[in-house]
Amino acid sequence: MKKKFFYIFFNFLKFFILISVLFIIFFLITQIIDGLADYIKYHKTFIFKNYLYNCPLLFVQVSPIITILSSMLILSEMKKNNELKVMLISGIKPLYIFSIFLICGIFSSVLSFSVKNFVSPLLMKKINLEVPKTSISFSSSNYFFYSEKITGNLFINIEFTEYTQNGEIITIKAEKAENYKENNWIFEKGFLWKFDKEKNLIKEEKFKIKNLKIPLTSEILLISNMDVEKFSFFQLFKIIKKMESLKLKPVSLITYLNEKISYPLLNFFIVFVIYPVFKKGEKISTLYVFSFSFLFSLFAYGIYIFFFSLSKNGKFPPILGCWILHIGIIIYFLLKEKKFE
């Protein structure tokens, strides 16, 4: 039994690595060619390492098609050499053999999740692209924050207001501010006013430098202007919890949070699709393997992106939008299993 497991798993690993390398090289060359026009037209500096930093994310994006193609190639080889038939004749249950393919899917999912949430965010932050940062405006039932512009880590010309539980209002206006650690901020050259619940001024203070601890962080304020791929699942989860503590429900971020798990897990769920091919006795051609793998992957990706977009824009529940394809695949598998019985 162990020999059968390692035979299928290591063959899957061989195809998986080979196809991954080929796909990444192909998309890397495509991106470089596509970007060269802009570099020549706008006289930009060509930074090759930026494209390399993007490779882990490329791998994650194409990992479902790599998984299904690797699984189908193994299945095709086993059928071609009558290995699958020999296993079944020897008394090995079909579901046991298929479970080995599912374990390969779990491996792909774990690898994809790790790359997406640990490797890719770190490298994406290193990509040297100048993104213009405009004004920042944030408001909730308890807080208001406005900054005219951002220079590096500094917020310029800030206005911050906090509405306390006892009805008091605290307002700060400053020339500069920096969030140097968690909820700790340094405000420079500004004024602080404090009002009671009747909006009567009870305190006025002019300062050159003032250290304050406020619930807002630069991550929360900048998240709308940043690429979400620069955050891991755990970082996004922490940001969402902070925003929920401010009585905010960031639907878009909740959708991205689910996507951080649901997309890597597609590698596992997509293996269920090959079950009908697995159960059929006839051999399958290489043309069928590639055409089925590519067409189904494009179809699945289209459905996933459609519902993901609806969820991101608040038109569909975030959890259902990110997991509806997985649910559909399982229903398809159960119906096919019942049919084969």
Indicate whether 29 and 125 sit together in one domain. Answer: yes
Report which of 298, 275, 264 is spatially closest to residue 106, judged by C-alpha positions.
Answer: 264
Residue after which a domain boundary falls, among 216, 239, 273: 216
Q: Is 49 exposed, middle or buried (0-12, 13-18, 19+ CB in 10 A)?
A: exposed
Indicate whether 15 and 98 sit together in one domain. Answer: yes
pLDDT at position 128 is 64
> Residue 182 gets which letter from DSSP?
T
Indicate whether 125 and 154 sit together in one domain. Answer: no
Residue after which a domain boundary falls, among 190, 216, 242: 216
Indicate whether 69 and 161 sit together in one domain. Answer: no
Indicate whether 107 and 170 sit together in one domain. Answer: no
Number of domains composing the chain: 2
Q: Is 52 exposed, middle or buried (0-12, 13-18, 19+ CB in 10 A)?
A: middle
pLDDT at position 84 is 87
What is the C-alpha separation between 64 and 112, in angstroms, rounded?
9
Residue 117 lies in a domain: yes
Indicate whether 16 and 116 sit together in one domain. Answer: yes
Q: What is the extent of the structural domain holding 110? A: 2-129+253-340
Residue 184 lies in a domain: yes
Residue 23 lies in a domain: yes
Indicate whether 71 and 180 sit together in one domain. Answer: no
Name the 3-class secondary structure at 32: helix
Residue 196 lies in a domain: yes
pLDDT at position 122 is 94
With contact defined as beta carbons under 8 Å apart, do 203 and 212 qualify?
no
Indicate whether 192 and 334 sit together in one domain. Answer: no
Residue 320 lies in a domain: yes
Residue after which a domain boundary falls, among 216, 240, 267: 216
Residue 42 lies in a domain: yes
pLDDT at position 224 is 61
Indicate whether 124 and 148 sit together in one domain. Answer: no
pTM, full prediction: 0.84
pLDDT at position 46 is 77
Q: Which one-letter amino acid corresponds to residue 122?
A: L
Residue 318 tokens read as 């975030």
Q: Which helix (H) or strand (E) holds 113?
A: helix 94-114
Indicate whether 150 and 208 sit together in one domain. Answer: yes
Residue 230 lies in a domain: no
Indicate whether 85 and 121 sit together in one domain. Answer: yes
Indicate whether 159 and 212 sit together in one domain. Answer: yes
Residue 39 lies in a domain: yes
pLDDT tens for the chain, 341 residues: list them. 688 899 999 999 999 999 999 999 999 999 888 878 777 777 777 788 889 999 999 999 999 999 999 999 999 999 998 888 888 888 888 889 999 999 999 999 999 999 999 999 999 988 865 555 568 888 777 888 999 988 877 899 999 999 988 999 999 999 999 998 888 999 999 999 999 988 899 999 999 999 998 888 887 888 766 788 999 999 999 989 888 887 778 888 999 999 999 999 999 999 999 998 888 877 889 899 999 999 999 999 999 999 999 998 889 999 999 999 999 999 999 998 877 66
pLDDT at position 133 is 56
pLDDT at position 129 is 59
pLDDT at position 340 is 62
